[in-house]
Every structure is written in C-alpha cells, then in structure tokens.
Structure 1
Amino acid sequence: MAFAHDTAEALRSAVELVNSVEPPVTLGTVADLAAFYRRHGYTGRHDGTAAELAEVLALAPRLRTLLLTPRDDVAPIVNAMLAEAAAVPRLVRHEHEDWHLHAVADDAPLADRIVVETALAMVDVVRTDETSRLGTCADDDCGGVVLDLSRNRSRRYCSTACTNRNAQAAHRARVAGPR
C-alpha cells in the first residue's frame, strides 16, 4: 500500500518526533526544530523559540499513543485531536508539492499543525487497514516506534543504529556457534 505523499510524510514526522525524545535525544534545540521543520516540509508559522520547541516535544507521548493504538481504538483519539484543533480539512497546493490536505490555518502553532497532520494521516492508516505498518522496535533495549513503508513489510528496527547493533549481535552469535 502506497500512502499519499502527505500521509507518508506526516507519519515520518510523527515517528521522528516520538523517537527524538528518547536517548539519544535528537530534537533538543531550537536549531534541531528548525531542521525538523525543513526536513518534513512544513509550511506556515514557525516561531523558532524555546517555547515552540517545548510545545512540540510535549506532543511525543500523545503521538506515541496514537501511532501504537490498535486500529479499532484509534477513532476516538483521532476525533478528539481534530475536534480540539477545530480542524476543517481543505485541499491546498504549494510551490513544490501537489494537492494535499491541511486542516488548520497556516498561522496556527506548529504543535497544533503536527497534531492535526498526524491525526489526518492516521485516518488514512485506519481506512486502509494498514496499522500493521506501525509498531515498536525489535531491539530488546529500544522502545522506538517503527514506521514500515517498505513493499515487503520487512522493517523491524526504528533506526540504522538499532539495525546495525542487532545485525552485529546476530553475526557474533553465528560466528561463536552453539554453546
């Protein structure tokens, strides 16, 4: 299942945000937030302040819950998020991006836009019955969220670091042989 570009990007953004607050923290400064904003193609208001960073980081637990909630339990969470933001979906097009959905004003706080975009993305995930594309990292020492957008649904780890650590451990176990 290929999600629409805005759905996939909102999911990537949410997963990165959720995982960025766990060690090693990767979203800890206003400069990190500015890079996150650019990397995920956000448009509209971006204050670039410590207060905005705190608001965005405070979303991590709520987004983690949303991303990992079983399919049939997602609707109340999504509905509450959209209602709180008074979200009104509308089609928009930007210079470098074709038609996609926005549901809050461009001058709304970045944290509000992240919540609404993630909620809208989860609407698509639920409607297409693709919640299995979200899960937790297979590394026993990591609780990161995994977004698997691969065709063969083979992604098991939240990051390259977790992937490499587990590949090395498996290799060492094979080389050592049975005990």
Structure 2
Amino acid sequence: MLFAHDTDCSLTAAAALVNTDGRDGEGLPDVAALDEFFTAHSYTGRHEHTETELAAVRRLRPRLRRVWHADTDEIVAIVNGLLREHRALPQLIAHDDEPYHFHAVPRDAPLATRIAVEAAMALADLVRMGELSRLRVCEHPDCDDVLVDLSKNRSRRFCDANCGNRAAVSAYRARKAAARG
C-alpha cells in the first residue's frame, strides 16, 4: 500500500465521481445510481436518497475534474478552498470495524460535503508527498476519463481494461498493417 487506506479509497472515489460525467453520458442519472456509487465506494453516514443530494454531488464533479488538469498551486488552492468551505476539522475516527482514519466533517454532514472533504484530504496527502504525478488522464485517444495510478511502478496508463484493450488492439492492427505494406 502506497498511501493510507482512506487516502486510496478517497482518491479512487474522486476519480470515479469525475468519470460519471464523461464520454458515456451521465453516469449519475438518478438517485439509484448515486445509491450504487455510495455503496461501491463504501461511504458511510448520512445519505438522503434525494434529488437535492444528487444535484449537490453532481455539482462537485467539475471542481474535482479540474484537479487532474491543474498545476500544484491550483490544486492547493482547490484543496484549501474545499476544506475551508466545508469547515473541515480533521480528527481520527474508528467506526464500522475500520481502523483509525481521518474524518474532517461529521458523519451526518451532507454526502457532497463528505465526498468533497475526503477528496481534499486525500489530495492534500498527494501534495505533501510530492505524488501528484499519480493523477492522470487516460491515454486512450478517445477517452478523457481520469485515473489515480496507485501501482508501485507508476505504470497505469488507462482508466480501465476496456481502454487498455482498445489501445492494444489498435497497436496490434497498426503493426499488422505496417508489416503488410
């Protein structure tokens, strides 16, 4: 593990949230999709299952996407803005059989607030450790999804296996065409 478990989880969830507003259309089309996102990324605490909550989570996406395209100073400004805006006060918490980890807002804070602050705390770890290069955009030419490279050797290039496979097939076909002609 390169980072603390909560940092890994928050970074992965932030990238997944950003990617719900991507090439395949709206990835959070309704409250049921937000429920699935909540469960898939092991969020706990308050979850209202409302259109208002869904809209608040969707509004967070452009701000988080900006992180993947920003320099360090802009990332720091985004992180500090999110922490200040949500009045984050980091504290060590243990719950639900999880070891101690940071929470910076109460568990009953709105979901969008918790997502924003958890992402900001994880991004702060990357800034402090000089690891912002782990935030990448998929290298497939037809994809603008983001990813977090949590591999030890920093080798992840694609957002998922589909883009990796499409790139491999394209490269194979190009090699075959070059060999023929």
User: How many residues matched?
Assistant: 179
Q: Letter of the aligned partner of 1:10 in structure 2?
A: S
Q: Name the counterpart of 2:58.
A: 57
Between 1:20-29 and 1:144-153, the stretch displaced more is 20-29
Q: Which residue of the partner structure matches residue 140 of structure 1?
A: 141
Identity, % of aligned pairs?
Answer: 49
Q: Cα deviation per residue 1:83-142 (whole Å; 9 max; x = unaligned)?
A: 100110111011231110011111111001100000000110011100010111111111
Shift of 1:43: 1.1
- 1:58 deviates by 1.4
Q: How far apart are residue 23 of structure 1 and its match? A: 2.6
Structure 2, gaps ≥5 residues long: none
Judge conservation of contact 2:68–2:137 (CA < 8 Å) in 1: no
Q: Secondary structure at the match of 1:158?
A: coil
Partner of 1:7: 7
Match for 2:57: what amino acid? V
Within a 5 Å distance, the mapping from 1:67-82 to structure 2 comes to 67-82=68-83
Q: Give the alignment's TM-score, normalised by structure 2.
A: 0.93
Q: Quick one: which amino acid aligns to residue 112 of structure 1?
A: T
Return the alpha-carbon distance in structure 1 between the equivalents of residues 141 and 122 of structure 2. Answer: 28
Matched, 1:160 2:161: yes
Structure 2 counterparts to residues 109-124 of structure 1, below 5 A: 109-124=110-125
Give 1:173 shift.
1.1
Task: Report the Cα distance in structure 1 between the residues aligned to 2:94 and 2:70, rounded to whole angstroms.
Answer: 31
> Which residue of structure 2 aligns with residue 100 of structure 1?
101
Task: Give, in angstroms, the shift of residue 2 of structure 1.
Answer: 0.3
